[in-house]
Structure 1
Amino acid sequence: MKYLRTSRGHAAAASLLVAASFLAGTVHAADAEQTNPLQFYTGSNNSYAKATLQVEVGLFDQGNSWFGNAREALGEDSDSWWESLIRPGLEGSYFLPNTQEIYGRVDAVQANTGGGLDAAASNAGLGDVSDLRVENAYAGWRSGNLFSSLGENFLDISFGRQQYKVGDGFLLYSYAGSGGDRGAYWIGGRRAAEYAGIVRMKTGGLNVDLVYLENDPISNDSTELGGATVNYTFNDNASLGGGLYTLDSDIDSRDGMNVFDIRGGVKPFAAANGPEALRPLRFDAEYVHEDRDDGFDAGNGWHITTSYQFEQVAWQPTLSYRYASFDENYDTLFYGFADWGSWYQGEIIGEYVLGNSNLDSHMVKLKVQPLEPVAVSLFYYNFTIHDAGDFGVKDDAYADELDLVIDWSVNDHLSLSLVGALAMPDDGATEHTGGDDDWSYVMLYGSIKF
């Protein structure tokens, strides 16, 4: 695994760490005086208005990118680059009688890529990229105690440019393209739909959403989605959900598609009051079926995950295993990053090479917490092509990948992450990319958020 090679990279990394140390101290001092330093209005009934600000920086360096054949695969070498994002905004909430609430948010994103070609070649031919545009711009209303028999905030209606999330982002999470002339491919600050109208209903453990949205892709091929999402939480140990959506799209294979989604999670031994040692065992799964007309084949994608936390062991390690399968007709739609490994599978392969289509993967993850603000995660991935012939290779064995992620939550406002990854090609990757070297990758990421 390489370190940042250039003097500019060393200086940038050092500057980020020095700034983090300084900000850690100053933010702690600010916290002691004021919990929301950018809040400029506070009403007697918990109404508020505040400015918001997020700054993100990523420094990237890699060796033997695209398994040593980046020049042929991308048209030029991709060694190191940087990304940054600045998101200023305004957010507010005003309470009416019966605790009804009107709320809203507007923000803009200034995204930048510089220093070289990113590993996805999204800025090929563009050089350094800088782009400013509105991200979120929405308003909404919550019912408070207006329908008191159904529970507080039974009804929540919102509309405008906003993000709609379902589960852990397997299907619906991010609706706007990043990278290219929009900049910041990895940071991915563009997630809001071009327009979304959402009606949320919640009573007890039942949640029902009605949604209509239009995505905001880099290309001109837009997609509209409408449908319903249902989720029921039985208790802390079990939940079951699903969704039914229909699409109207400029993309022929999406147009008229009906999407069926079912997902759930359970701690069976905790739910059944079983043996104490087995109660932390958890299973999660999701299955998506995409039904198409006009001669297009149906697509299917699914995963099953099992995890166990050793609660009585030092550092409380959590061990997880996941198998995921996506056939060659599966459309990834609007999946996104909810956590490391979900649903960009692998910091090299999943971020830059393969999407969640025509892919089978095994993932083993070990996460420990040596200190309260520090988490360390180790990942192993094995990737195979679901249908090698459809992908254009003879061997379905693609690659193995190891990732190490260290997350440090310095305080409520500042977080840092260090990522190291190594991808080792199998015959399928060599045939696909023309390279047979191990691909190493390191990233330093920092975020300041108010």
Structure 2
Amino acid sequence: MDSLLIAKTRMMKINKIVILLLFMLTVQNVFAQVSSAFYEGERITNVIYVFKNKLTDSIAQKNLEQEVKRAFPIFPQTTVRNLLLDGYTNKVYKLEQVSEAQYEVLPSQLGGINITLTVVISEKAKGKKEKSGALIGEKDFPILYQDNKSLLTTKFAMAQMLYSNNNSWYAREDAMLNGNPLAQNPAGEGYTGWIEGWVSGGLYGITTLSTKRSVYLYGGASYIMSASAGRELFTDESRAYGAFDDAFLGFVGTTSYPSGNRFTYNLSMGRQQFSVGKGFIIRNTAANGDNRGALQLNPRWAADYLGLASIRYNNFLLQVFQLDPDELDIVDSKTVIRGFNAELGDGYSNQIGFMMLGVPQSSFKYYTPSGEVLGREGLQLFNLRYYTNKPPDVPGLFYKGEIAYERNSNFDMKSFAGYSEIGWSFAKSKGAPALRYRYAFFSGDDPDTETYERWDPLLTGGNGEEWVIGANHFKVVQNSNMNVHQLQANIRPWQRIELVPQAMYMYAVANNNIGGNPALGYLPKKEYGSEFNITVKYFRSRHWYWHGHLAYTIPGLGVKEALSNTTKPWFSAMLFFRYAL
């Protein structure tokens, strides 16, 4: 009881701090740059340049545009890194004929993020301050200091969520969570609800090591405090937790040639986020929930360690990485992943990618019907992907597809996964809707063969438009031994509001489901079930984002019979806001 009282007291203190910070922050002035803290680590779909007050001399204008692009080496199919966006934008602003420069970061209806850099040009060169920032008395917060070579800035973000379920775990939490080490009086039959939130702050900087060679040193660190109270999916224990999230150091350089070719490199190490492609294999590099709280908000994304070397020459990207995900202490498998990723394409029409990785260390186990216990250590994975895309405001067909194969050097393993997605963008129509259909396959294990065939999903995930397949269903089946048919629409009836309805049908590849939820270890029928959900996104301003969803999941015959026909449909409702500088 004492620990529960202490946790609730902490939660009340956090809420008071949140309210105070909200009051203070809502009276801040509007800054030149748009906050991108919501989208750190997200995949960039398009990079758009907007030039205002163009020069009358067309040749001079073309040269200036090339100079801007050299100063802003951000490319499609890379990931959002706020610090580099700020640093490169500052570099563009320092150009002689640029009077204003700012970037905007918004989600694309085709998936991923659109980055728009707006540059206001002045025919006459204007004097600019050599130094600025809050530390020298300027009203530039969150920028603390910047000059022609360096930038020091802060990051602040926070979120709070209300979540409610009716008949969680199909009203059979007794079976679905039996033996789960995270479960302590979890949500189940009937209505339950909880509240969770987090607050984070960080310090980041970038400085020029060589102006001639365009070489920069960058780094930063942030701290997150998260908390939960109420009866959530696994526990009714109120708790609060604080720890560092990201903490990294890196070098980045870029070289532009007279021919127009560009070469960039980026070397970084430390606690940082990482994803590959559309997140089909690697997306969730940190875990949330349990003693950390904030199970649904997922504030933590940084791995325990990521060493990453990236080089890019025009449209060719090569990455070499070593990754140690930040797992929950109670289920930490000590998994280490090493691999390389290569991509070729302009990000707009065609994009081809290939990744190969290995797992030299892991205590994660695979279980079989015979009772033999195998392990992830020794896993090797090969992934091939192909995307087509559409620039903003361009209607037409788009397609995405991937296939992946897993084997293990320590035993006979052959598992497969893949998907095919096809859609159409009605970019010129009212609401600019985008419609898509996706079929995904994740192999299951056939007990009649000596080969182990169940797909290991590794670090897949993200959000409901990526590889969290079903707001409720994903909590039951995590992208293994499954076929999925999914329909989705993205509609913007108003400029700041987006609707995302989804319908999906899931069924197993094999009746043997050992390695999944123990209550569903054998499925008399292969049908997992169906889910219908809708998400509403409200982009209130560059600081504020509101998000809500409703989800209704109907158990299929396989789940019903495995649970003795005592299941009920699962309904969930959620509303949260995020604030960021």
Bucket of the pairwise TM-score, normalised by the shorter protein: 0.7 to 0.9
The residue that corresponds to 2:313 in the other structure is 203
1:20-47 alpha-carbon deviations (Å, 9 max, x no partner): xx879937x62168866311111123x2
The residue that corresponds to 2:571 in the other structure is 440
AA matched with 1:41: Y
1:405 aligns with 2:518: no
Deviation at 1:431, TM superposition (A): 2.9
AA matched with 1:280: G
1:63 aligns with 2:194: no
Contact 1:230 1:243 in 2 (8 A): yes
The residue that corresponds to 1:89 in the other structure is 202
The residue that corresponds to 1:80 in the other structure is 193
The residue that corresponds to 1:316 in the other structure is 432
Contact 1:158 1:197 in 2 (8 A): yes
Deviation at 1:241, TM superposition (A): 0.4
Of 202, 207, 228, the match for 2:340: 228
The 1:33–1:229 alpha-carbon spacing in structure 2 relative to 1, beyond 3 Å, is closer
1:31 aligns with 2:30: yes
The residue that corresponds to 1:162 in the other structure is 272
The residue that corresponds to 2:494 in the other structure is 371
The residue that corresponds to 1:325 in the other structure is 441
The 1:433–1:442 alpha-carbon spacing in structure 2 relative to 1, beyond 3 Å, is farther
1:131-190 alpha-carbon deviations (Å, 9 max, x no partner): 111111100001133888895561110011111111121111222221111211111222
Deviation at 1:235, TM superposition (A): 5.5
Contact 2:380 2:409 in 1 (8 A): no
Secondary structure at the residue paired with 2:411?
coil
The 1:363–1:91 alpha-carbon spacing in structure 2 relative to 1, beyond 3 Å, is same
Secondary structure at the residue paired with 2:250?
strand
Of 129, 133, 152, the match for 1:49: 152
1:425 aligns with 2:425: no
Report the Cα distance in structure 2 between the residues aligned to 1:413 and 1:302, rounded to whole angstroms. Answer: 37
Report the Cα distance in structure 2 between the residues aligned to 1:167 and 1:34, rounded to whole angstroms. Answer: 27
The residue that corresponds to 2:466 in the other structure is 342
Range moving further from structure 2, 292-301 or 200-209: 292-301
AA matched with 1:111: S
Deviation at 1:221, TM superposition (A): 1.6
Of 348, 371, 386, the match for 2:509: 386
The 1:136–1:400 alpha-carbon spacing in structure 2 relative to 1, beyond 3 Å, is same
Report the Cα distance in structure 2 between the residues aligned to 1:409 and 1:224, rounded to whole angstroms. Answer: 37
Contact 2:395 2:428 in 1 (8 A): no
The residue that corresponds to 2:134 in the other structure is none
Secondary structure at the residue paired with 2:341?
strand
The 1:147–1:159 alpha-carbon spacing in structure 2 relative to 1, beyond 3 Å, is farther
AA matched with 1:383: M
Report the Cα distance in structure 1 between the residues aligned to 2:558 and 2:300, rounded to whole angstroms. Answer: 32
TM-score, normalised to structure 1's length?
A: 0.86
AA matched with 2:297: I
Of 381, 388, 403, the match for 1:266: 388
Report the Cα distance in structure 2 between the residues aligned to 1:132 and 1:24, rounded to whole angstroms. Answer: 23
Segments of 5+ residues of structure 1 without an aligned counterpart are: 1-11, 272-277
Report the Cα distance in structure 1 between the residues aligned to 2:415 and 2:296, rounded to whole angstroms. Answer: 27
AA matched with 1:225: I
Secondary structure at the residue paired with 1:52?
strand
Q: Which has the higher contact order (CA 8 A, sep 6+)?
A: 1
Contact 2:263 2:314 in 1 (8 A): no
Deviation at 1:193, TM superposition (A): 1.6
Identity of paired residues, percent? Answer: 20
Contact 2:338 2:358 in 1 (8 A): yes
Deviation at 1:443, TM superposition (A): 0.1
The 1:432–1:178 alpha-carbon spacing in structure 2 relative to 1, beyond 3 Å, is farther
Segments of 5+ residues of structure 2 without an aligned counterpart are: 1-11, 35-139, 178-184, 365-373, 445-453, 514-520
The 1:348–1:144 alpha-carbon spacing in structure 2 relative to 1, beyond 3 Å, is same
1:56-77 alpha-carbon deviations (Å, 9 max, x no partner): 1111011122223335534643
Secondary structure at the residue paired with 2:344?
strand
Deviation at 1:234, TM superposition (A): 4.0
Range moving further from structure 2, 244-253 or 368-377: 244-253
Contact 1:67 1:433 in 2 (8 A): no
The 1:311–1:177 alpha-carbon spacing in structure 2 relative to 1, beyond 3 Å, is closer
Contact 1:142 1:153 in 2 (8 A): no
Runs of 4+, deviation exceeding 4 Å: 22-25, 32-36, 146-153
Contact 2:152 2:205 in 1 (8 A): yes
Secondary structure at the residue paired with 1:346?
coil
Contact 1:150 1:203 in 2 (8 A): no
Deviation at 1:336, TM superposition (A): 2.5
Report the Cα distance in structure 2 between the residues aligned to 1:158 and 1:325, rounded to whole angstroms. Answer: 34
1:280 aligns with 2:404: no
The 1:312–1:143 alpha-carbon spacing in structure 2 relative to 1, beyond 3 Å, is closer
Range moving further from structure 2, 185-194 or 159-168: 185-194
Deviation at 1:294, TM superposition (A): 2.8
Range moving further from structure 2, 374-383 or 218-227: 218-227
Secondary structure at the residue paired with 1:208?
strand
1:244 aligns with 2:380: no
The residue that corresponds to 2:9 in the other structure is none
